[in-house]
Amino acid sequence: MVLHRVHHQILRSHHLFEPLDEAQLNELMSSSQLLSVDKGEPLFRQGEPADAFYFVIAGAVKIYRLTPDGQEKVFEVIGERQTFAEAMMLMDTPNYVACAEAVCPTQLYRLSNATYMRLLQSNSRLTFALLGKLCVRLHQRVNEIETLSLKNATHRVVRYLLTQLVRLQSTTDCSFELPMAKQLIAGHLSIQPETFSRIIRRLIDEKIITQDGRQIAILDRPRLEQFE
């Protein structure tokens, strides 16, 4: 496929594609698909053949598994300029281990695992970029396991808010927009949506944060960090 000029620049800014020369990038994109999906549309289901990974141009995708009683456990919500399912290329299973579904209208590239693996064999910088990405994901999962195992619901919510604040990479801006609906955040934190709402309300009543829709402003970060 012919790569859109803006998309070319976006892909080039991501570390999984930056090491590719023009011929290699063209080879990868020739076997890719540009998809536009609606809210609620699945990208893949658990158990389906894992023959591709994805790069989000715009929108968001949730990664989740279904519990035996049919409840969703959301692991992550992937936003724009992020990849997902790339770890499947290095796993010992031929099938996806989770489900992926758009949480809003989303545009993304579906990229061939087989083509990317061929490129890995001839480009060591690409190999290290992929390993670096997977190490970051592993570190995130370890932190989440620690939070879910050792902290109560309030600590989980506080930790989540602080994580969103850190992602701003700003020393002055203390406000951010929640990246997903409270039901998804609650599922990600393994708590009920009502519990999440109660904790947010308590933080507002204590004048530690304010909320306007999905917009959160941190009024007192030291108190938030020590809040129990």
Write the pLDDT tens digit of every residue in 177-224: 888 888 889 888 888 888 899 999 999 999 999 999 989 999 998 999
Q: Output the domain CATH number for residue 159.
A: 1.10.10.10
* CA pair distance 220, 225, nearest whole angstrom: 9
Class of residue 17 by CB neighbours under 10 A (exposed 0-12, middle 13-18, buried 19+): buried
The residue segments making up the domain with residue 183 are: 151-226
Q: pLDDT-based confidence at 83, cuts 50/70/90?
A: very high
Give yes or no: residues 101 and 158 share one domain.
no
Q: Between 145 and 13, whose confidence is greater?
A: 13
Instruction: Give Cβ neighbours of residue 187 (< 8 Å, ≥ 6 apart).
Output: 64, 71, 72, 73, 74
Domain identity same for 189 and 107: no
Q: Which one, of 151, 166, 145, lies nearest residue 73 by Cα?
A: 145
User: Quick one: pLDDT at residue 3?
Assistant: 61
pLDDT at position 129 is 79
Residue 102 lies in a domain: yes
Average pLDDT, the chain: 86
Q: Which residues lie below 8 Å from residue 205, measured CB to CB, with a gap of 6+?
A: none
Using the structure block, give the residue that is written with the tokens 């496929």. Answer: 1
**CB–CB of 43/37 below 8 Å?**
yes
Domain count, the chain: 2
Supply the pLDDT for residue 150. 46
pTM: 0.65
106 and 155 together in one domain: no
Residue 10 maps to which CATH number?
Answer: 2.60.120.10
